[in-house]
Amino acid sequence: MRSDLFTDDFKTSPYWQDRAPDIQLPASELPNEVDVLVVGGGYTGLNAALQTAREGLGTLVLDAERPGWGCSMRNGGQISTSLKPSFARLVSRYGKETATKLCREGQASLDYMHHLSRVEGMDIGLREVGRFHGAHKPHLYERLARECALGHPVWQTDAHMVPRADMASELGTDQYCGGIVYPHHCSIDVSKYHPHLMDKTLQAGALIRGHCPVLTIERQKSGFKVQTGDGEVVAGKVILATNGYSGPLSHWHQRRIIPIGSYVIATEEISKEVVDRLFPTDRILSDTRKLVYYYRLSPDRKRLLFGGRVSLGETDPLNSALKLHRDMVSLFPELATVRISHAWMGFVGYTFDTLAHCGEDKGLYYAMGYCGAGVGMASYLGMRIGQKASGIEKSASAFDRISFPTRPLYSGTPWFLAPSILVYRLRDRFGV
Ligand SMILES: Cc1cc2nc3c(=O)[nH]c(=O)nc-3n(C[C@H](O)[C@H](O)[C@H](O)COP(=O)(O)OP(=O)(O)OC[C@H]3O[C@@H](n4cnc5c(N)ncnc54)[C@H](O)[C@@H]3O)c2cc1C
């Protein structure tokens, strides 16, 4: 390991963790009985609990770790309309009507973040900074330009192209052949969102407990008997909000979620002159690679937070940090001697159709599978599934109406990931 690339106070915990306000959870006995038990205390679980608690349902949120320990305190804080498949692909799978509804909900997930910020008054550092999406090959720039000219059939993207000659106004690298700007994409301050959401959910009357794993969920004649690390709870309804950390608690869900590692480094503080030259805007940044790089400045504009899917099976952030540093330097050679202050990873929940899913099976509710784009979508579908469990949902979400596929022989261990990543790496090299 090259120790000169790490700061003396280097940490393998998320950069956000040091800056997050400390929300104290009230000490309480585990209730014997609740109306709704939510498994998982991330964005999905808390947004669901906010709804059920507000509807007067006795709500208990349990997390196996500290609430927020999962992706919800590890992410890059980039927000888009959160749908991976193109509109054309959605139409070919589901028909135009459903494709349109799915896209409308993609937009609704972005709008929901504005709602949390403006209407709920949550200080989540939401800013409409826009996204620059770089083309790493000339023909991919041409493809982006064609898409930009056509516009999106559902979203008002207001996107515009940035040719290579104008790149300096967006980014100080010559590694992109230009790119596209989506001006409505947003960033949040990840260190603020989860703590404030937890505070709101507590204020609404929900009980939240960390370090209390749910071990089994057993169906009863009515409701569920839930075995936890701290004893048994009888619950009228259960909401599964475990996403990339969905273990054997529900085999049906485990067979549908593919946990994939995503990795981030934070740099030490970089001089203002270099930051302003390399990153003249506050945009969130990504590119056309299949194994995408996603990066941004920290909210105070002092550090670069650089993320990617670097590895075949790496779970050690020390190893992934060096790979990410190398990738960062390939885009910005000037950062070669900038050291790493934090490196961390988390498991995002992918699905076989690269779409999120939510639904219910006789009192067992779920929302998951955000495919690495869950800040907005997990929040939105968490809210929707909470409304459904409360009986106040007006009509089912489009994500609830499509089937949630699995594959033969898949039981939750993605044995096919290593070869897929190798193929993606090759495709990225040739831009196919
Ligand atoms: C490195 C990284 C970068 C990312 N960057 C972005 C980004 O820039 N933009 C974006 O939109 N998305 C991003 N994401 C994805 C996004 O963070 C997630 O989609 C979102 O946070 C999912 O929230 P969640 O509540 O569903 O899951 P999580 O936040 O992962 O929470 C699941 C929780 O379930 C708990 N749990 C699991 N099993 C049990 C059990 N049996 N009992 C009790 N608790 C249990 C876990 O402890 C965990 O806390 C990123 C993810 C990672 C890892």
Q: Which residues contact 44 (CB under 8 A, 6 or more apart)?
A: 241, 243, 367, 368, 374, 378, 379, 381, 382, 385
- Atom index in ligand 1 nearest the CA of residue 375 equals 11
Instruction: Name the residue with tokens 């050690």.
Output: 316
**Quick check: CB of 261 below 6 Å from ligand 1?**
no
**Residue with CA closest to ligand 1 atom 12:** 373
**Quick check: CB of 213 below 6 Å from ligand 1?**
yes
The whole-number pLDDT of residue 309 equals 73
Q: How many Å lie between the centroid of ligand 1 and the Cα of residue 259?
A: 10
The whole-number pLDDT of residue 27 equals 86
Ligand 1 pocket test target in 243, 315, 368 with most atoms within 8 Å of CB? 243
Q: How many Å lie between the centroid of ligand 1 and the Cα of residue 258?
A: 13
**Quick check: CB of 39 below 6 Å from ligand 1?**
yes
Task: Kindly state the DSSP code that residue 127 receives in the 8-state scheme.
Answer: B
Q: How many Å lie between the centroid of ligand 1 and the Cα of residue 349?
A: 8
The whole-number pLDDT of residue 113 equals 98
The whole-number pLDDT of residue 420 equals 74
Mean pLDDT by groups of 10 residues along the chain of 432 residues: 86 96 89 98 98 98 97 98 94 98 98 98 98 97 97 96 97 97 98 97 98 98 97 98 96 96 96 98 95 94 90 72 94 98 96 98 98 97 98 96 95 79 76 74
The whole-number pLDDT of residue 316 equals 77
Rg value, the chain, Cα: 21
Ligand 1 pocket test target in 238, 297, 375, 381 with most atoms within 8 Å of CB? 375
Q: How many Å lie between the centroid of ligand 1 and the Cα of residue 130?
A: 23
The whole-number pLDDT of residue 166 equals 97
Q: How many Å lie between the centroid of ligand 1 and the Cα of residue 243?
A: 6
Q: How many Å lie between the centroid of ligand 1 and the Cα of residue 369?
A: 10
pLDDT digits (tens, 9 = 90+) for 174-215: 999 999 999 999 999 999 999 999 999 999 999 999 999 999
Cα(247)–Cα(262) distance, integer angstroms: 18
pLDDT digits (tens, 9 = 90+) for 354-410: 999 999 999 999 999 999 999 999 999 999 999 999 999 999 999 999 999 999 989
Can you spell out the DSSP letters for 177-228?
A: SEEEEETT-EE--HHHHHHHHHHHHHHTT-EEESS--EEEEEE-SSSEEEEE
Cα(407)–Cα(205) distance, integer angstroms: 40
The whole-number pLDDT of residue 318 equals 82
Q: How many Å lie between the centroid of ligand 1 and the Cα of residue 149?
A: 35
Q: How many Å lie between the centroid of ligand 1 and the Cα of residue 348?
A: 6
Cα(232)–Cα(29) distance, integer angstroms: 12
**Quick check: CB of 378 below 6 Å from ligand 1?**
yes
The whole-number pLDDT of residue 80 equals 96
Instruction: Name the residue with tokens 């956000």.
Output: 16
Q: Which residues contact 327 (CB under 8 A, 6 or more apart)?
A: 293, 306, 308, 310
The whole-number pLDDT of residue 426 equals 77
